[in-house]
Every structure is written in C-alpha cells, then in structure tokens.
C-alpha cells in the first residue's frame, strides 16, 4: 500500500447521497457541453473486440487485455477493450462523418494490470471522442484550439458543481498552459517525468503537456504511447515533434499533478509507418485496422479520452477514485482508506 496517498485531516465534503447526485450532474452536464463544443454525436460502443484485428488499444504495449473464448464462434478469442482509440476512427469512416463533426461514447474497460492507488482502478470509464479533420488542420494551432474547448467545458462544469454544492470551491485556473515535453525536460533536467509534471502543474494549475511518446534529448520518452493512434513524431510549429498530449491539473487535495485526458491528432499514413518502425511493430501493417489506414480508407481525425470518474473525483474534491466508482480493492487498502477518512464504494 506504499502508493496510497493519505490526506491528513481529510473529510469528504459530500455525503454518499450528495456524491451520487453530484456524479450524475457532472456526467450529464459535461457530456452535453463536450458534444456541443466539438459537434459530437453520441454512439454506442463495444465492451469487447476480436483479438488479432489491431483494433484494441495496447496502451504502453505491456498491459494484458482481459480475454475470453466465444463458444458459438469456435472459441475465437475476444478482448475487453483498453480504450476505443482506434475503433472510433473506424466508426467515423463507417458513418461517413464529415470534417468538423465527430462522435463520442461511454467507454468502459477492465485493466487487470493496473497498479491500484488513489487514481487507478481495475475499472476505467471514459468519454471517448473522435472528430474528423482536414489535412490543413493537422497542426499545433488546431490541437490547441480543441484542448481549450475541452478545458472550457471542464471549467463550466466546475462552476455548476460549486453552485449546487456551495461547500465545494472552484480552484481551476481560467487558462490552460501549453508546453512540450522536451521544454519541460529542459526546465527540470534533474527530475523524473512525474516530478516534472508535478512541478509544472503546481506552477500553472492546468497544463497541456505535448509530445508524449517520442524520445526526448535524454533518450527517454516522457511517457509511453502506442504507435498507431496518436501522432507523436510529426514536427509541429514550435519546432518540436508531436501533435498529441495530456491535459493535466494541479490537484490540491492530493498535492500532486492529476491527468484528466489523453488526446491528440491521429496518425496519417506517413506517421503510422514511421512510428511502427521506431517501435519495432512493423508486423502490425498486416492487421485489419492498419491495412485500412494505410490504404487511405480511414478519415484523418483528432480524438482522445476524458476520465469520467477522474473528472467527478476532482470536481467533487474526493481523495480516492473509489469514492466515485464501485470497483474491487485489496482488503488492506479498504481498511487503510476507511481509517484515513476515504470511504470506498
């Protein structure tokens, strides 16, 4: 339980019934705002996909998906999704969604290899969204525009929560700061990536850290990213590589940086080939998803995931994600959380 953060004197500001009311209010209001701001229509999404098609998100490439054989399909194996990063792009093409419009969905996943702590659970719920774009929009300015739209929707939701529950005070800054992960490394060369995130988020309150996945000048990436959805190798207008990033805030309850969203402009044909080669994953070119992309059968897009439980946790000022969602936790963690004033559902 060494990774469990205990907050001295912590006491939830809302009782269990108020918490459930707050969760519903946040989810209803935020997704309506997100849909309007980005012109997204809601679609139904799968809980699992077939293995071997290249559709499932492999995250950092080491997490094992939950899988099971399908009796009526000759024991072919299905995998519970890690996220819908690539599935959404297939749907943009299948539904014929034009540039400037997109889709969003409720993504539910099981990640059995997560290291459980205040922010990480076996159960992951996100608003997964994807929007069709033009070739002319594949640039840093457009990425920043979309990030600002999402951040504005988060702040509007925070205001609504504070109006409903006056004991919850707003703390998010008006603006979000943009910085490339290489710039961040140069600012804090002696810190680890997580320590750099803490430092920059504490300084600005809300930050979009760009260029996640590619190697930096120290030979290490800021964080891992799969090679076949976010574009982390195309040079941007600031002279750095990468058209993706993470929306992060400084969370005073836990006194640390807190990721709310991972997102980015998606790979085109050239970026996919480049990133598969860099990652040593060139065999993926033979998979269903990758063949369609390389054949030009998928639209250019931008997309990402926004944590539902994480957003509710932040806006309701909770110290543990288990206060927001029902999941499975080790018995000793439940005991420690109860003793620390963090009642897990």
The residues that are catalytic are: 57, 111, 126, 246, 259, 262
**Three-state SS at 118:** coil
Q: Report how far residue 48's alpha carbon sits from residue 33's, in angstroms, rounded to the nearest whole number.
A: 28
Widest pairwise Cα distance in the chain? 58
DSSP string across 162-197: HHH-TTS-----SS-EEEEHHHHHHHSTTS-HHHHH
Q: Report how far residue 143's alpha carbon sits from residue 326's, in angstroms, rounded to the nearest whole number.
A: 34
What's the distance, CA 124 to chain centroid? 10
Q: Which two tokens stand for residue 1?
A: 């339980």
Question: Closest by alpha carbon to 252, among 199, 207, 205?
Answer: 205
CA geometry: angle at 256 spanning 250 and 262, to 5°? 65
Question: Closest by alpha carbon to 263, among 162, 127, 163?
Answer: 127
CB atoms within 10 A of CB 214: 20
Q: Report how far residue 251's alpha carbon sits from residue 279's, in angstroms, rounded to the nearest whole number.
A: 33
């Amino acid at each position: 339980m060494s990774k469990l953060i205990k907050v001295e004197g912590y006491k939830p500001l809302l009782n269990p019934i108020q918490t459930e009311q707050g969760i519903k209010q946040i989810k209803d209001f935020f997704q309506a705002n997100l849909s309007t701001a980005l012109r997204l229509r809601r679609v139904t999404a799968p809980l699992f996909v077939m293995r071997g098609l290249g559709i499932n998100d492999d995250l950092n490439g080491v997490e094992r998906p939950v899988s099971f054989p399908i009796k009526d399909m000759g024991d072919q194996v299905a995998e519970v999704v890690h996220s819908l990063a690539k599935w959404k792009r297939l749907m943009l093409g299948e539904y014929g969604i034009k540039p400037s419009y997109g889709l969003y969905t409720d993504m539910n996943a099981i990640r059995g290899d997560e290291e459980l702590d205040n922010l990480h659970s076996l159960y992951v719920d996100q608003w997964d969204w994807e929007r069709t774009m033009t070739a002319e929009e594949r640039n840093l300015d457009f990425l920043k525009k979309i990030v600002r739209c999402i951040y504005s929707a988060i702040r509007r939701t925070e205001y609504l929560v504070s109006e409903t529950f006056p004991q919850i005070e707003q703390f998010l800054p008006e603006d979000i700061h943009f910085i490339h992960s290489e710039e961040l490394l140069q600012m804090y060369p002696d810190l680890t990536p997580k320590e750099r995130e803490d430092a920059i988020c504490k300084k600005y309150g809300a930050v979009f850290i760009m260029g996640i996945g590619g190697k930096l000048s120290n030979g290490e990436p800021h964080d891992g990213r799969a090679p076949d959805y976010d574009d982390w190798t195309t040079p941007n207008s600031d002279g750095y590589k990468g058209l993706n990033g993470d929306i992060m805030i400084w969370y005073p309850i836990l006194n640390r940086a807190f990721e709310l969203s991972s997102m980015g402009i998606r790979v085109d044909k050239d970026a996919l080939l480049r990133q598969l080669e860099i990652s040593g994953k060139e065999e993926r070119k033979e998979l269903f998803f990758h063949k369609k992309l390389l054949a030009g059968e998928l639209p250019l897009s931008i997309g990402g995931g926004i944590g539902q439980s994480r957003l509710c946790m932040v806006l309701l000022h909770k110290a543990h994600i288990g206060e927001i969602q029902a999941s499975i936790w080790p018995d000793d963690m439940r005991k420690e959380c109860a003793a620390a004033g963090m009642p897990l559902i």
